[in-house]
Amino acid sequence: MRTEEAGAGRTARPPTGRRSGGLRERLELGTARIPFRVKLGLVWIGIFVVLGILFALARFDTPWLRQHYWFIFRGLPWTVAISVMAIALASILALLGALGRISKNSIAVGLTGFYTSFFRGTPLIVQMFLIYLALPQVGIALGGPWARTLTLDPLRAGVIALGLNYGAYMTEIFRAGIQSVGHGQSEAAESLGMTYRQKMRRIVLPQAVRVIIPPTGNEFIAMMKDSALVSFLGTVVAQMEIFRRAQLLGRRDFRPLEALLAAAVMYWVLTTVFQYFQGRLERRLSRGYVREVAGKPEVPPH
């Protein structure tokens, strides 16, 4: 009975007003001819309409936001800068960490083991404060130039903490990536007479990158969001990133909804844009691994 109805719904006009079946089934039958993508679009529009109504009820102050969004927006370069610097640091640390973890040197294994264990086992915000507030104490105890060197401004402390923390997680990503390159590749490189360094740089890492890039992209997206934590170290006005600006502005004018929502949307757009570029990069990296050229599947040649 059911299957007959479903079949009819696909070919002829769906039966309307029938009491059989729940609301969900009737909805499915009634919209069977609308393409999935269109329905998906309608759902998204629906979500935004509902949210819009909610915000309107909360007296969303659009004119205020129009006046002030630029102040928040100017934090975007700082959010990006913090994340880029921190992911660069994290990548270097992750590479060293991964090479250390797979090495046969006990010192390297011990150091990297401590590093990953500590920075994965403690909260990021604690690490930030350790580096910002606790490190100067060590520097003063050491005396001399250390007092200055280990006293960091909030931005630097934040970047270093983010880099250390993410580097510890990414060590595993890099290790897996390096180990995903087959042993035969190493042997082929070695049999040509390559040194360890040449083998890594020319043969192993370029192939590992393919495996490393997608999860690292995810880490970078997470990092852009976690960069908001730097706010808690109290950056100076000129260097404030998105969240700190939104927080201060919203508090000053009692417009937390407007300011924080604007900040959230900026983060959202930022991560979405990055995801798009990451997808393109991944496709580019798959060169040499995909058989088809320009979408034309190829018969393996002989």
Range 158-197, binding other proteins (CB under 8 A): 182, 184-185, 187-195
Note whether 198 binds other proteins by CB under 8 A. Answer: yes
Distance of CA 117 to CAs 112, 127, 168, Å?
8, 13, 8
Residue with tokens 């401004």: 153
The smaller minimum CB distance to other proteins, of residues 45 and 290, is found at: 290
Q: Give the rounded distance of the alpha carbon of 101 from its chain centre.
A: 24
Rounded least distance, CB 292 to other proteins, Å: 9
What is the identity of the amino acid at 294? A
Rounded least distance, CB 285 to other proteins, Å: 9
The smaller minimum CB distance to other proteins, of residues 62 and 180, is found at: 180
Binds other proteins by CB under 8 A, chosen from 238, 289, 294, 297: 289
What is the identity of the amino acid at 253? D
Helices (H), the chain: 2-11, 23-30, 36-57, 62-73, 76-101, 106-121, 124-129, 135-142, 146-149, 154-180, 183-191, 196-198, 205-226, 242-253, 256-285
The smaller minimum CB distance to other proteins, of residues 237 and 299, is found at: 299
Rounded least distance, CB 193 to other proteins, Å: 4
Rounded least distance, CB 7 to other proteins, Å: 44
Distance CA(23)–CA(111), nearest Å, equals 61
Quote the radius of gyration of the chain (alpha carbons, Å).
27
The smaller minimum CB distance to other proteins, of residues 145 and 184, is found at: 184
The smaller minimum CB distance to other proteins, of residues 36 and 289, is found at: 289
Residues that bind other proteins (CB under 8 A): 182, 184-185, 187-195, 198, 202-203, 206-207, 210, 287-291, 298, 300-302
